[in-house]
Amino acid sequence: MAEPSPPPRSTTNPDAATPPPQPAETMEAALRTFFSSPRFAVAGASSDPNKFGHQIFKWYLAHSLPVAPLNPSSASITVARAAYPALASPAALPNPAATALSVVTPPKVTAALLRDAAAAGVRAVWLQPGSFDGAALAFARGAFAAAVAGEGNVTGGEGWCVLMDGEEALGLAGREWKKVKL
Domain that holds residue 133: 28-172
What whole-number distance in Å separates Cα of residue 61 and Cα of residue 79?
Answer: 9
pLDDT in tens, 45-57: 999 999 999 999 9
**Are the beta carbons of 37 and 123 closer than 8 angstroms?**
yes
DSSP string, 126-167: EE-TTS--HHHHHHHHHHSSEEE-SS--SS-SSS--HHHHHH
What whole-number distance in Å separates Cα of residue 159 and Cα of residue 182?
Answer: 27
Residue 88 backbone class (left: φ over 0; alpha: ψ -120 to 50; beta: rest): alpha
Tell me, yes or no, whether 1 lies in a domain: no
Tell me, yes or no, whether 9 lies in a domain: no
Tell me, yes or no, whether 130 lies in a domain: yes
**Mean pLDDT of the 149-157 span:** 58
Using 50, 70 and 90 to split pLDDT, how confident is the model at 150? confident
Q: Is the pLDDT of residue 131 over 90?
A: yes
Q: What is the CATH number of the domain that holds 73?
A: 3.40.50.720
Reported as type and span, the H/E element at residue 68 is strand 67-70
- Interior angle at CA 92, CA 88 and CA 94, nearest 5: 140
Tell me, yes or no, whether 23 lies in a domain: no
Using 50, 70 and 90 to split pLDDT, how confident is the model at 153? very low
Please state, rounded to an integer, the average pLDDT across all residues of the chain. 86
Tell me, yes or no, whether 16 lies in a domain: no
Tell me, yes or no, whether 179 lies in a domain: no
Q: How many CB atoms lie within 10 A of CB 42?
A: 32
Question: Which is higher by pLDDT, 91 or 12?
Answer: 91
What whole-number distance in Å separates Cα of residue 156 and Cα of residue 176?
Answer: 23
Tell me, yes or no, whether 160 lies in a domain: yes
User: Per the structure, how many domains does the chain have?
Assistant: 1
Tell me, yes or no, whether 138 lies in a domain: yes
